[in-house]
Amino acid sequence: MSQPNPGRAALPLVLLHGIGSNAASWAGLEPYFADRRVVAWDAPGYGDSPPHLHPHPSPSDYAAVLADFLDNAGVARCDLVGHSLGALIATRFARRWPGRVRQLVLSSPAAGYAHDASRPLPEKLQARIDDVRNLGPSGMAARRAANTLAEGVAPDVLARVTAAMAAVHVGGYSQATWLLAQGILAADLAALTVPVSFIGGTADRVTPLEGVRALAGTHPIAVIEGAGHASYADHEAEYAAALRGLLG
């Protein structure tokens, strides 16, 4: 969590990472927003955050943890950005506590699977947990990290994204997979009462742009040419400009 120059007039900018990342992954974005307080969280089971008490936590469970986190950070109201899996948490939070969010931005959002937690995970999601358990976080990162980036990115960008994925904890990642399974982003979007906008990349192979456009509907969307799923990393300056443009 970063808290530069507190006391400025602008609302804090709160950043929620994806399933294979952490709060530190947003560090490159912070200099572009030096005029305001930037707060990046580690979701339950990520970084130094303890795992959730529920073995199969839902978006509402994570949203409640986010509310406590923001209370402890002294953030009463904010602009909220959710990337990929973080979009499910951010949207549920904004739905439950609309007075705490001025604007919501969903970056390459995960749509969720509308899965009943009483049933076994779909094969595609169980494969995620199997990978991190069998290969370890480093092995999983070696297999999956490059797919989150546009082709031909600089080696240092790939190294940073791979390192972030390699730093996940097996338990936290497994719980986050259950969050992904239970999420229903479209339903939360339909119930929102706060302004929402979207960011998508033309080279995103994880949440392709056509799916992001479908979720966005008539809401504003910023498209970053050539950006992969982790557009905040492989097109850092363009991502910051898009976010600034959406927030106004």
pLDDT at 4: 41
Tell me if 178 sits within 8 A of 82, measured CB to CB: no
Dihedral sign for Cα 196, 192, 106, 187, please.
negative
Cα maximum dimension of the chain: 48
CA distances from 193 to 4, 102, 180, 221 (A): 30, 10, 23, 18
pLDDT at 10: 87
The C-alpha atoms of residue 85 and residue 18 are separated, in whole angstroms, by: 5
pLDDT at 9: 59
pLDDT at 7: 38
- Give the tens place of pLDDT for each residue, 73-88: 999 999 999 999 999 9
| CATH fourth-level superfamily of 13-247 | Alpha/Beta hydrolase fold, catalytic domain (3.40.50.1820)
Mark the ranges of the chain whose per-residue pLDDT is less than 50.
1-8
The C-alpha atoms of residue 112 and residue 132 are separated, in whole angstroms, by: 20
Tell me if 138 sits within 8 A of 213, measured CB to CB: no
Helix then strand then coil, % of the chain, to nearest 5 = 50, 10, 40
**Which pTM does this prediction carry?**
0.95
